[in-house]
Amino acid sequence: MSADAFSLQSLIRIETAADPAFVFDGTLFSRVEFSAKVEQTAAWLAAQGIGKGDVVAVWLVNRVEWLALLFAAARLGAVVAAVNTRYRSAEVAHLLRVSGAKLMVVEAAFRSIDFAAILAGITKDEVPALQRLAVVGADAIPAHWPCVRFDAFEKSYPPAQDDADLPVLLYTTSGTTKGPKLVAHSQRTLATHAASVARALQLDHRRHSLLAMLPFCGTFGIGFAAFQPGWRELAVEAEARGMKLFGLYGSSEVQALFSIGRTGDAFADRIEGGGWPMSPDAQVRVRDVETGELAPQGVSGEIEISAPSRFLGYFNNPAATHEAITADGFFRTGDIGRLRGDGSFVYETRAGDAMRLGGFLVAPGEIEDELKSCTGVADAQVVAVDLRGQARCVAFVIPAGDPPRQEALTAHLRERLAGYKVPARIYVVDAFPVTDSANGVKIQRARLRAMAMERIAAE
């Protein structure tokens, strides 16, 4: 089969597919119209000096320009770095720096988000590769960089060529250091997974449409993901109302909707995270974290995955890629689970300390580093707790001199981080609870979570 069959363009070339292909804010776009916009956008990117291997950061809400930029980048062999619209200056700067983006396409304005003000918090030295901004909806915005207007749809140019195995899209995922890593996917990994999901869920392109309510800037799935407190109670309530929920599993590295439960499963099994892989070519195994050997069915260990939807690697981070991939090509997920023995598996918990906040996986170190950059903070630790049925984070700080004011710390974090990462409480302590281990002194994060809940209960 030719590489062209695995391109993003192949997804809109299905002759029997229903039209319109997309509807944005009530405006209909046929496949022919969208294809024309892709070609126009590819030519526009080329005119901006974007070519094979170059990175374009896309900081837009869900609009036709977002998808046109992705498909157009694929035509040129360029890469799209998806920027979450909830990001603030520290997060945007990290993504731009790590990706090496030359161009960023940005909204002029959207609701209460002041894109220009957020960009004002980033210095040119922080993101040396960024050359210019392209603004959708205006000629320019106040910024340190030259601005051009995104006017791609006003011109028409000849088509470019595809390479289905080059990086084309970067997702952000939780990192163990200050900021998230960038997960690189190709047209082949995206297109083959889309086809696998359609077959597994028996979606018919002549009859079914997708309502994309969640932002394009992340990798999301449709279903019931069991990572928030109270999910079992939610499933029971939904079942009582005649709404069947299905547990599923996915990650940026193997994409959302990697697996899902089946209709014939018993209720308790159907709602568990995990299920059956969408692709018949996917393989799931579990490795005993103590012995390092593959675990038999029913024994918990780290989940490892080999699949056509597996990422290419972490962009500009070969060391992290090497650590995440086994010698025989399986992705080490960092998640704990077990095999059922019937081809399905169960996701149980995250092996590390990453927190699920606002639907996103967040490394505590990202928030801790921002707190430690504040005047009056010597050290910081952040843990996740269940606060009135929602996962929120709580911070503990050790002061450097006079204790810092919580209001000042919170205000700083709101300027630098997305709202869902801002701690619900910040407590000042003299020291963190620690324990000695074979690898040195370790923070007792479980004890910190207990302390957080005790203090919240006392309030």
Q: Cβ distance 235 to 271 under 8 Å?
A: yes
Considering only CA atoms, which of 127, 113, 215 is closest in space to residue 171?
215
Q: What is the pLDDT of residues 216-261, one digit of tens each?
A: 876 543 444 444 445 677 888 999 999 999 989 998 899 988 999 9
Compute and round to an integer the Cα radius of gyration of the chain.
Answer: 23
Ordered by start, the domain boundaries in the chain are: 3-190, 221-350, 356-458
CB atoms within 10 A of CB 47: 12
CA 322 vs. chain centroid, Å, equals 20
Tell me if residue 335 falls in helix, strand or coil.
strand
CATH number assigned to the domain covering 3-190: 3.40.50.12780
Banded pLDDT at 176 (limits 50, 70, 90): very low
Considering only CA atoms, which of 122, 133, 109, 110 is closest in space to residue 57?
133
Q: What is the pLDDT of residues 42-86, one digit of tens each?
A: 999 999 999 999 999 999 999 999 999 999 999 999 999 999 998
Q: Which fold has domain 221-350?
A: Luciferase; domain 3 (2.30.38)
Quote the tokens at residue 255. 């994409």
pLDDT at 402 exceeding the cut of 70: yes
**Where is mean pLDDT largest: 170-179, 223-232, 307-316, 397-406?**
307-316
- Say what the pLDDT of residue 9 is: 82
- Say what the pLDDT of residue 422 is: 95
Quote the CA–CA distance of 51 and 54 in Å, as a whole number.
Answer: 6
Banded pLDDT at 301 (limits 50, 70, 90): confident
Note whether 3-190 and 221-350 share their fold: no
* Residue type present at position 234: L
Banded pLDDT at 161 (limits 50, 70, 90): low
pLDDT at 111 exceeding the cut of 80: yes
Q: What is the pLDDT of residues 187-202, one digit of tens each?
A: 999 999 999 999 999 9
pTM, to two decimals: 0.76
Q: Cβ distance 302 to 339 under 8 Å?
A: no
Q: Which fold has domain 356-458?
A: GMP Synthetase; Chain A, domain 3 (3.30.300)
Measured CA distances, 362 to 60, 352, 382, 447 (Å): 21, 11, 11, 20
Question: Furthest-apart CA pair in the chain: how many Å?
Answer: 70
